[in-house]
Structure 1
Amino acid sequence: MEIYSTEEQQEEAIKSFFKENGLQILVGAALGVAGFTGWNFYVDSQIEAQESASVEFDQFLKVAGAESAQADVVNSELSKFVEAHGETGYGIFANLVAAKKSVEAGELTVAETRLQAAVNATTETSLKGLVNTRLARVQVALEKYDAALETLSLVTAPAYEARVAEIKGDALVAQGKESEARQAYQLAADKGGLEGNTILKMKLQDLALSTNVAS
Structure 2
Amino acid sequence: MICVLLIIFILYFISFIVTENYYYRNKNYFKHNYKEYDDFISKETCYTFKQKIVNNIYFEDNPLNDSFKNTKGILIEFTDKNDYNAFQSKNLEFLYPYYKKIKKPYANHFIFNILAIPPSKKKKMSIAYHYDSTLSLNEIDESYFSHDIVPECVSVTYIAQPKHMKNGKLQLIKYGNWINVGNITPSIGKMVEFNGKLYHGVESFYDLDNSNTYRISLVLEQYCV
TM-score between the two structures when normalised by the length of structure 2: 0.23
Comparing both chains, which one has the higher relative contact order based on Cα–Cα distances under 8 Å and sequence gaps of 6 or more? 2
Greater fraction of residues in strand: 2
**Structure number with larger C-alpha Rg:** 1
More helix by share: 1
